Chain A
Amino acid sequence: MKIRNPPTGEKSELNMTSMIDIVFLLLIFFVMTFKIVEMEGDFSVKMPLAGSSNSTIDPTELPLKLRLRADDNGTLAGMELNDIQMGNGPEAFDKLRGTIIGQIGSSAPVPEEAGEGPEVEIDTDFNLRYEYVIRAITAVSGYKDGDQVVKLIERIKFAKPRR
Chain B
Amino acid sequence: MRVKRKAVDMAEGDMTPMIDMTFQLIAFFMVLINFAQTEANDHVVLPNSKLVKPPEAPLVFPIVLHVAADGRVYLGGDDYTAETLRIGLDRELAVIRGEGKSPGDANVVIRGHKDCAAGEIQEVVRVCQDSKLVNFALRVKEDRS
Contacts and interface: CB of A to CB of B under 8 A. Distances in A.
Contact of B118 (A43, A45, A48, A129): A129
A42 B126 contact: no
Contact of A131 (B23, B55, B114, B120): B114
Contacts of B114: 129-131, 134
B70 interface: no
Interface of B: 15, 19, 22-23, 25-26, 29-30, 32-34, 37, 46-55, 59, 67, 109, 112-123, 125-126, 129-130, 132, 134-142, 144
Interface of A: 16, 20, 23-24, 26-27, 30-31, 33-35, 37-49, 68, 70, 74, 124-135, 137-138, 141-144, 149, 158-163
A36 to B, nearest CB: 8
Chief secondary structure at chain B's binding surface: mixed
A34 B55 contact: no
A125 B117 CA distance: 9
Given A46-B135, A149-B51, A40 B46 contact: yes
Given A74-B115, A129-B117, 17 more contacts: A20-B22, A27-B29, A37-B37, A38-B46, A39-B142, A40-B140, A41-B49, A41-B53, A41-B54, A47-B125, A74-B117, A126-B117, A130-B113, A134-B48, A134-B140, A135-B47, A144-B51
Nearest to B107: A44
B137 A30 contact: no
Nearest to B16: A16
A155 to B, nearest CB: 12
16 contacts: A16-B15, A26-B26, A27-B26, A38-B141, A39-B144, A42-B59, A44-B135, A49-B134, A127-B117, A130-B67, A130-B118, A130-B121, A131-B115, A158-B121, A160-B126, A163-B119
Contacts, number: 160
A83 B114 CA distance: 26
A25 B119 CA distance: 47
A40 B60 CA distance: 17
B49 A130 contact: no
